[in-house]
Chains A and B, each alone.
Chain A
Amino acid sequence: MRISVQDVPFELGAESDAFAAGVQGAGAVVTFTGVVRDADQGGLKAMEIEHYPGMTKKALMAIAEEAMKRWSLADALVIHRHGRLTPGERIMMVATAARHRKDAFEAAEYLMDYLKSRAPFWKKEILASGDSDWVAAKDADEDALKRW
């Protein structure tokens, strides 16, 4: 299990390869990548991601440990960036490995649902107009936790 909270970009291919190489025989590897989107097509200049350094890694670790307990996983990986990102940049990725794909898919969804609402990150959108706004948490994201 590896958790990385970092300001620098990560290589999706290299991270995926290294993760898969570490779980040979697992049979199923699922990866999910979150990317800064430009919802208003040209309106978004940057996304600033703030976090709580003393808590972030611990919170992500607890979420990943819970996933390892609930599903039959060979391994799990979470990388999450903070700082200033521009549209198209990768914000985060999760990877899960299991003997069968159902465990890997479900665990990856669980990790995503929990790190959306229970990992101490806050996103601020910096618009081309010069305005900026904190991204509000969605009720749907909180509701998504109930299915687990």
Chain B
Amino acid sequence: MDILYFAWVRERIGLPRERVETSAATVADLVEELRAREDRYAAAFADLSALRVALDQELSEFDAPLKGVREVAFFPPMTGG
């Protein structure tokens, strides 16, 4: 599965994207796995209320299942316009 990071999430983790092997059932489970990796992930995912998630380029929720998902993106609330 490809994981993408944008804006300060990308800066905090230090990379724009990576490929991970995971058996996480939901986005929240995946976040737990990432948090446990290293401090920089724990820092980026410290407050989920400050984050949004997209699954295969559609906005989604942290309790959403990951079955069949190919691309997960994490980012702060959007500031377009």
Contact = CB atoms under 8 A, between A and B. Distances in A.
B81 interface: yes
Interface in A97-148: 112, 115-124, 134-137, 142
A118 B78 contact: yes
B54 A120 contact: yes
B79 interface: yes
Contacts, number: 69
Using C-beta atoms within 8 Å of the partner chain, give the interface range for chain A: 20 to 34
Interface residues of B, number: 17
Given A122-B6, A124-B7, A134-B7, A54 B57 contact: yes
Interface of B: 4, 6-8, 54, 57-59, 71, 73, 75-81
Given A52-B4, A92-B80, A134-B7, 13 more contacts: A50-B7, A52-B75, A54-B57, A55-B58, A55-B73, A58-B57, A92-B81, A116-B80, A121-B80, A122-B75, A122-B76, A123-B79, A136-B79
